[in-house]
Every structure is written in C-alpha cells, then in structure tokens.
C-alpha cells in the first residue's frame, strides 16, 4: 500500500477535517470534489480555497444528471429542506446513491494517479438514516472498487464512529478547529462558517461544537 491518499472534499466540516487528518497520516495528499447540481454549490469554491491554503491539488468532477433522476432537497431548490420525523427514515436531503457514485469516480481518478488510499468523511453516528454513510456500505464499496478496477484500494473513514462533538475534538487535536469553524460550509443554504443556523446541517454542527466546547 503506497503512502498517497485522495480525499473526497466537499468544503464542509467533516471532509475538511479528513483532509487535515490525511495530511498528517500520508506523504502525498490530493482531493476530489463533485459538482452535482447541489443547491449549496458555494461549497466547491470554499473547498478550492481550502486546498489552496493547504497546498493540495483539487480536482472537480462535473456530474450534471443527478437532479434529473433523483428528487431531493439538495438538487431541487423547489423542495423545502426538512428532517424526517420517522425512525429509520432519512431526511429529504438524501441523494440516492451519491456516495457510491462519488467513490466510483474517486476510484477511477485515484488509480490513474497511482493513489491507493481514499479518505471519506462519512459518519454512521450522526447520520444513521443515510444508507450510504454506514460502515457496511464502506466495506462493500471497498471490495467493489478493488474488483472493478483490479487495483488494491483502502477506504479510510476516520469519522465513522465519531459524533459531531468528537469530530470537533479531532479538528482541535489536528490544530485546525478555528480554521474549520470559520472557513468551511456545512450549511445547506451555502453560508460559510456558522451558516444560517436554522437548517438541519447547521443545527447539528452547532450542537456538536457547543457540546465539545462545554466538555473541553
């Protein structure tokens, strides 16, 4: 296994934390992002600035058909963002198969760059209703990528069993808590830093930060 890693970077808190985690754990790091028609497209510009500051190469893949085949609040601005009120039912921000699609593109790109490590910021702890954030999906996706490309990949998910508070703790340990708090976009409405404070992503992010700072 080589010492090169590719990070799936959206410009949000989780993926940016993973970027700095990768910088600490690998000798060479690159990042890949996806323009899939998301309503918070500003995140890609945010990610570009982050990679410039971190001296990381950033490649953006354009996927312009997801909004045609998936009805969800992230790719359709006419759908109001809301959380699910039912146990086991994902919110309407779920883009079906998105992470599988992202990993497929990431795997293809990584192989061409002779990169065998792929880093992704998914978490089963805070996002249990998203099927493509589960650990069992990651295990399956790794095997599928290796078989599909005849290449030995290793998928790294450093946040898989971490809560949002624990993710903030990791950012602090890496020395980038303030940077991530001020320079990432988690907000579904595309507002950098603390965001709109009202969408589900902002609420989760803020609760995690407050919990970590209170326990620190």
pLDDT computed for residue 129 by the predictor: 74
- Match 């998105």 to its residue by tokens: 98
The pLDDT of residue 38: 72
Helix (H) or strand (E) holding 35: strand 28-35
3-state SS of 150-171 is CCCCEEECCCCCCCHHHHHHHH
Residue pair 171/17 in contact by the 8 Å Cβ criterion? yes
Does residue 49 contact residue 179 with C-beta atoms inside 8 Å?
no
Residue by residue, pLDDT tens for the chain (216 residues) are 579 999 999 999 999 999 999 999 999 999 999 987 676 678 889 999 999 999 999 999 988 766 666 665 565 566 566 655 555 556 665 666 689 989 999 999 999 999 999 999 999 876 557 788 889 999 999 999 999 999 999 999 999 999 999 999 999 999 999 999 999 998 888 899 989 888 888 888 999 999 999 987
pLDDT at site 189: 82
What is the fold of 4-163?
Rossmann fold (3.40.50)
Amino acid 136: pLDDT? 93
Buried b (16+ CB within 10 A) or exposed e, 198-209: ebbbbebbeebb
What pLDDT does residue 81 have?
62
Could you say which DSSP state residue 133 is in? G
Measured CA to CA in angstroms, residue 137 lies from 13, 97, 155, 201 at distances of 22, 11, 11, 22
Per-residue model confidence (pLDDT) at position 201: 84
Nearest to 163 by CA among 205, 109, 216: 205
| Sheet with 28-35, edge to edge strand ranges | 57-62, 28-35, 4-8, 117-119, 154-156
Q: Which pLDDT score, from 0 to 100, does residue 94 have?
A: 62
């Amino acid at each position: 296994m080589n010492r090169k890693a590719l990070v799936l970077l959206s410009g949000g808190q989780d993926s940016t934390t993973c970027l700095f985690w990768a910088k600490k754990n690998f000798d060479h790091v690159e990042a890949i992002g996806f323009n899939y028609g998301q309503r918070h497209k500003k995140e890609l510009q945010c990610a570009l600035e982050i990679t410039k500051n971190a001296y990381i190469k950033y490649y953006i893949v354009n996927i312009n058909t997801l909004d045609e085949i998936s009805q969800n609040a992230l790719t359709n601005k006419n759908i109001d963002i809301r959380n699910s009120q039912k146990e086991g039912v994902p919110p309407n921000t779920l883009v079906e198969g998105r992470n599988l699609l992202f990993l497929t593109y990431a795997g293809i790109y990584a192989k061409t760059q002779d990169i065998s490590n792929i880093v992704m910021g998914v978490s089963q702890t805070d996002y249990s209703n998203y099927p493509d954030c589960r650990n069992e999906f990651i295990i399956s996706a790794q095997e599928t990528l290796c078989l599909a490309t005849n290449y030995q990949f290793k998928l790294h998910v450093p946040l898989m069993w971490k809560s949002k508070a624990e993710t903030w703790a990791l950012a602090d340990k890496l020395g980038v808590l303030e940077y991530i708090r001020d320079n990432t976009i988690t907000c579904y409405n595309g507002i950098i830093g603390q965001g709109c404070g009202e969408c589900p992503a902002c609420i989760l992010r803020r609760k995690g930060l407050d919990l970590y700072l209170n326990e620190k």
